[in-house]
Amino acid sequence: MKTKSSSKALKVLLTVLLSVISLVWVAPIFLVFLNSFKVNTFVKTDTFGWPSGESLAGWGNFIKGMTFGDYPFMNSVLYSVVITLLSTFLILLFTSMAAWFIARVDNMWCKVFYYIFVFSMVVPFQMVMFTLAKTADSLKLNTPFTIPVIYLGFGAGLAVFMFVGFVKGLPLEIEEAAAIDGCGPIRTYFSVVLPMLKPTLISVGILEIMWIWNDYLLPYLVLDRTKYMTIPIHIQYLQGSYGTVDLGAIMALITLSIIPVIIFYLSCQKYIIKGVAAGAVKG
What residue spans define the domains of the chain? 2-63, 70-246+253-279
Q: Find the range with the poorest average confidence among 5-14, 29-38, 87-96.
A: 5-14
Instruction: Indicate if the alpha-carbon torsion angle 97, 101, 104, 109 is positive or negative.
Output: negative
Q: Which residue has the higher pLDDT, 127 or 98?
A: 98
Q: 73, 44, 41, 74: which is closest to 57 by C-alpha?
A: 41
> Rounded distance, CA 6 to CA 16, Å?
15
Q: What is residue 78's predicted lDDT score, i.e. its pLDDT?
A: 94
Contact predicate 132/142, CB 8 Å: no
Average pLDDT for 216-230: 89
Q: What is residue 276's predicted lDDT score, i.e. its pLDDT?
A: 57
> Rounded distance, CA 178 to CA 182, Å?
7
Q: Quick one: CATH architecture of 70-246+253-279?
A: Orthogonal Bundle (1.10)
> Rounded distance, CA 26 to CA 10, Å?
24
Quick one: pLDDT band at residue 213, thresholds 50, 70, 90? very high
Mean pLDDT, rounded, of the chain: 84
Is residue 245 scored above 80 in pLDDT?
no
Q: What pLDDT, in 10s, does the model give residues 144-160?
A: 999 999 999 888 998 99
Q: How many other CB atoms are there within 10 angstroms of residue 120's CB atom?
A: 16
Quick one: pLDDT band at residue 185, thresholds 50, 70, 90? confident
Q: Which residue has the higher pLDDT, 241 or 128?
A: 128
Question: What would you measure as the largest C-alpha separation in the chain, in angstroms?
Answer: 75
Quick one: pLDDT band at residue 241, thresholds 50, 70, 90? very low
Quick one: pLDDT band at residue 91, thresholds 50, 70, 90? very high
Q: What is residue 239's predicted lDDT score, i.e. its pLDDT?
A: 63
pTM as predicted: 0.84
Q: What pLDDT, in 10s, does the model give residues 39-78?
A: 888 888 888 888 888 888 888 888 888 887 678 888 999 9
